Amino acid sequence: MKLLLTSAGISNTSIHNALVDLLGKPVAEASALFVPTAIYAIPGSANIVRGVICGSLGDPFCELGWKSLGMLELTALLSMKQELWVPMLQETDALLVGGGDCQYLCYWMQQSGLADLLPSLLRKMVYVGLSAGSMVMTRYGTTYGRHTLPADSDKSLGLLDFALHPHLDHEWFPENSLTNLEKLAATIPVPSYAIDDQTAIKVTDDTIEVISEGHWKLFHL
């Protein structure tokens, strides 16, 4: 299992090098699929998706010089036969999962069947998350509450036994101060990583490594 869980994308050389290490080859020789689904549950989604794809919004993510880049929209997969999209995933080097709303993303990962496929896919493919796209793999997720889903919908997949809190001390997210995140971490029954936008969590099977040119903190139980 190979994952790179970022707060804001491939924001510095250290995170880029970690990505290359997980891929086992340069980005220019790797194929990627971008999952924008979580973005559609937040205001201004169309422009945000466009910005992430073309690289005009936030740190590099899709616009990294991939050998090939495609899009996988989870909400469309229920209307497609699996033989049309599963082979595409099996042949992809990296799955880029964008940020937005964790609960919405988790719901469509489960409904589409992607959640069931991830354990086998991640034996070869690298999972690269951004914000909610990172959080959804852990034991903690958030929701904007602006969509209609079943009341008991999960907020994360819980494939990793820790919580992740991105955008530490970011000016756009004043609630993400270290003090507030420490209080939040105390309510979660697993260790919590608070990371800023210059930090990522690299997971290789059972090994967890913090990759950072910024600030982060691990809150133990």
CATH number for position 67: 3.40.50.880
Supply the pLDDT for residue 104: 95
Taking only the tens of pLDDT, the chain with its 221 residues reads 999 999 999 999 999 999 999 999 999 999 999 999 999 988 888 899 999 999 888 899 999 999 999 999 999 999 999 999 999 999 999 999 999 999 999 999 999 999 999 999 999 999 999 999 999 999 999 887 667 788 889 999 999 999 999 999 999 888 999 999 999 999 999 999 999 999 999 999 999 999 999 999 999 97
The contacts of residue 92 (CB under 8 Å, 6+ apart) are: 31, 32, 33, 70, 125
Q: What is the pTM of this model?
A: 0.95
What is the Cα–Cα distance from 82 to 84, expressed in whole angstroms?
5
Domain count, the chain: 1
The per-type count for the chain, helices as H runs and strands as E runs, is 7, 10
Question: How far is the CA of 205 from the CAs of 22, 32, 122, 201, in angstroms?
Answer: 11, 21, 10, 13
- Return the number of other C-beta atoms located less than 10 Å from residue 2's C-beta: 20
- Return the number of other C-beta atoms located less than 10 Å from residue 27's C-beta: 18
Domain of 19 in residue numbering reads as 2-219
Dig out the tokens for 104 from the structure: 């919405």
The contacts of residue 15 (CB under 8 Å, 6+ apart) are: 4, 6, 198, 199, 200, 211, 213
